[in-house]
Amino acid sequence: MRTMRTRRRAVLGPPPLPEPRGTLSAAVRDTLRGSHPSRPWLPADCGAYDDDLQLALYMLYELHYRGFEGVPDRFEWDGALLSRRGALEDRFLCALHTDVPVDGTETAEDVLDELQLEPVGDDDSSLSHYLRDGGSLQQLREYAALRSLYHLKEADPHAWVIPRLRGRAKAAMAAVEFDEFGAGRADEIHAELFADLMEDLRLETAYGHYVDAAPAEVLATVNLMSLFGLHRALRGALVGHFAAVETTSSPASRRLAEALRRVGAGPAAVRFYTEHVEADAVHEQVVRHDVVGGLLESEPDLDADVVFGIRATIHLEDRLAARLLSAWRNGSTPLLTTGQSQTG
């Protein structure tokens, strides 16, 4: 019988290119395969949150992570691809600024105070409340499969902000990332702990395995981190994103750990979230007071950018929650491809 580590060694290579979802993602895939597609790169009717655009962005961003099977590394910095990616980013950013306008009347401190307020009673728009109170084992498996697009590279997008910070903010960000990356222990890296969770739930642990199953709402949450992380001009927004994640993580992780215990999941599945209950409660204070506080102490003009990062993060998470909850309450699955979360 193979151990978890042995099994993962068999899938350490880059993932295959995903299946396209329209002319835009098909054009990206054709280009990465070395052909010269005649399809338009950015159709006028392609919405910022559409599956086609979000998958195209996801493929272009993944060139900066592990890439894809059979795609040469040189494509990461291909000028034509970067130019075209910029057009997609502009449409995505424009939609986000429209949906979460920041007018300067609230500060990062105000918004983080708001995030710390837990709802009175159950929140019927909350994924973690739903899963804790009545989610099935299969729904928890679907949730883990979709979240794996981020958690198998957890903290990687946020690491890009470190060289763009200085002083107290840099030191604090590096300290939190050190914890995320296992504090010097490879088997404690949070991405590895999530792979353990997936193994416990009989899910495939290969990086990017579930991309074809992930709706646009999932891709958008992952793309947001890459968008903020790859642009120095958006460093304040990335810090805001990180602050939003750390502020909301601990209570949500507690509910998810309770959900996994209730359905009889194994200890590795429960451990991933129990680890985040304590760790992220500490991280929240460090991020708020030293990362956000240190950044705004040295660059106070970035306050509105931090607010935008927080608001954009919550906006996309709310869209994702609505998509998943709608499917589950209707007795269906949010996965685009059937059967992917059925076996490990």
Q: What is the pLDDT of residue 99?
A: 97
pLDDT value of residue 74: 95
Burial category of 301 from C-beta neighbours within 10 Å (exposed 0-12, middle 13-18, buried 19 and up): exposed
pLDDT in tens, 34-78: 887 655 567 767 889 999 999 999 999 999 999 999 999 999 999
CA distance 103 to 119: 26
What is the mean pLDDT of the segment spanning 148-163?
97
Distance (Å, rounded) from C-alpha 75 to C-alpha 66? Answer: 12
Q: What is the pLDDT of residue 338?
A: 56
Tens of pLDDT, residue by residue over 7-29, are 454 457 899 999 999 999 999 99
Residue 125's pLDDT is: 87
Round the CA-based radius of gyration of the chain to a whole number and report it.
19
Q: Report how far residue 86's alpha carbon sits from residue 75's, in angstroms, rounded to the nearest whole number.
A: 15
pLDDT at 2 over 50: no
Q: Helix 303-329 to helix 235-262 angle, to the nearest 10 degrees?
A: 30
Do residues 150 and 221 make contact, with C-beta atoms less than 8 angstroms apart? yes
Mean of pLDDT values over 230-236: 98
Half-sphere exposure of 252 (CA within 13 A, CB side): 17
> What's the pLDDT score for residue 5?
52
**336 pLDDT above the threshold of 70:** yes
Q: pTM, whole model, 2 decimals?
A: 0.93
Give the alpha-carbon dihedral of 58, 62, 63, 68, to 10 degrees.
-100
Q: What is the pLDDT of residue 140?
A: 98
Token code pair at residue 38? 């005649």
Mean pLDDT of 260-266: 96
In the predicted structure, residue 344 carries a pLDDT above the cut 70: no
Q: In the numeric block, which tokens belong to residue 206?
A: 């290969």
pLDDT at 1 over 70: no
Query: CB–CB of 259/131 below 8 Å?
Result: yes
The arithmetic mean of pLDDT across residues 179-206, rounded, is 95
For 124, other C-beta atoms within 10 Å of its C-beta total 11
Angle between helical axes of 216-229 and 137-151 (0-180°, round to 10): 30
pLDDT score at 41: 67
Q: Which two tokens stand for residue 343?
A: 């076996």
Quick one: average pLDDT of 331-338?
90
Separation between Cα atoms, residue 74 and residue 298, nearest integer Å:
37
Say what the pLDDT of residue 221 is: 98
Residue 226 has pLDDT above 80, yes or no: yes
Least confident of 209-213, 285-289, 311-315: 285-289
For the chain, domain boundaries: 16-99, 108-329
Q: What percent of the chain has pLDDT over 90?
A: 81
Mean pLDDT for 155-162 is: 97
Which of 153, 176, 132, 191 lies closest to 280, judged by CA? 176
What is the H or E stretch that residue 227 is in? helix 216-229
What does the pLDDT read at residue 62? 98
- Judge whether 145 and 340 are in contact, CB under 8 Å: yes
- Average of per-residue pLDDT across 281-292: 88
Question: For all residues of the chain together, what is the average pLDDT?
Answer: 91
- Is the model's pLDDT at 265 over the cut of 90? yes
Tell me: pLDDT of 269 over 70. Answer: yes
The correct CATH number of 108-329 out of 3.30.565.60, 1.20.910.10, 3.40.50.2300, 3.30.460.80 is 1.20.910.10
The per-residue pLDDT for 343 is 42
What length does the chain have?
344
pLDDT band at 93 (very low <50, low <70, confident <90, very high): very high
